[in-house]
């Protein structure tokens, strides 16, 4: 998968541009921006943007990958701070929610509406659901969680995570993605404990 921080991709300037693009998109979304708008906001030429991606669509997808790559790194770093197996699922989901708090509602709506970016979010959600399953199985093995059917619990959590990603939870509850992950973490903390 594409990683703009990879040295083989290019210069520090390119990585810096991806960080600036990400900050812009997270704050304001991206659907309303043209390449001319983006170039003006980043004080670079359109030709510079074309060194990052062949089109706006590809640029948005790459910035989305950049966002989720950074978020995954932050989530795993937060999880590494939690050694107690009984707290790791909640710590993980809380960290996921924290990683999403930087994203404006406009960005999340644009992400949901734009298929290539939505696919990146969906892939990230599937990977996160798998990680939660691993954490549940670890907690059951260590006796921190009661004997639960780990596959069922993980499937239930994954279903909720998908609903969060698809904006269904937002529609039915008014909770942002970050708030929904925090609530899910709270429910799981009480429901899984031995």
pLDDT band of residue 9 (cuts 50, 70, 90) is very low
The CATH number covering residue 115 comes to 1.10.357.10
127 falls within a domain: yes
10 falls within a domain: no
Model pTM score: 0.83
pLDDT tens, position by position, 163-188? 888 889 989 999 988 888 888 888 87
26 falls within a domain: no
Domain range enclosing 145: 59-192
31 falls within a domain: no
User: CA-CA-CA-CA torsion for 113, 117, 123, 127, nearest 10 degrees?
Assistant: -100
- What is the structure's pLDDT at 147? 80
pLDDT tens, position by position, 97-120? 889 889 998 999 999 899 999 999
182 falls within a domain: yes
> What is the count of structural domains for the chain?
1
Q: What is the mean pLDDT of residues 148-152?
A: 76
């Amino acid at each position: 998968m594409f990683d703009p921080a990879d040295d083989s991709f290019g210069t520090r300037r390119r990585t810096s541009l991806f960080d600036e693009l990400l900050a812009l998109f997270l704050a304001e979304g991206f659907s309303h921006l043209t390449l001319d708008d983006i170039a003006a906001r980043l004080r670079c030429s359109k030709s510079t943007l074309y060194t990052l991606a062949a089109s706006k669509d590809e640029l948005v997808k790459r910035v989305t990958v950049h966002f989720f790559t950074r978020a995954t790194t932050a989530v795993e770093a937060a999880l590494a701070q939690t050694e107690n197996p009984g707290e790791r699922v909640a710590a993980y989901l809380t960290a996921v929610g924290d990683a999403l708090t930087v994203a404006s509602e406009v960005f999340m709506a644009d992400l949901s509406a734009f298929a290539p970016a939505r696919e990146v979010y969906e892939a990230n959600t599937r990977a996160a659901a798998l990680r939660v399953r691993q954490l549940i199985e670890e907690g059951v093995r260590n006796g921190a969680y009661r004997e639960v059917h780990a596959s069922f619990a993980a499937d239930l959590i994954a279903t909720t995570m998908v609903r969060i990603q698809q904006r269904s939870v937002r529609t039915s509850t008014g909770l942002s993605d970050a708030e929904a992950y925090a609530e899910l973490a709270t429910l799981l903390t009480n429901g899984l404990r031995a």
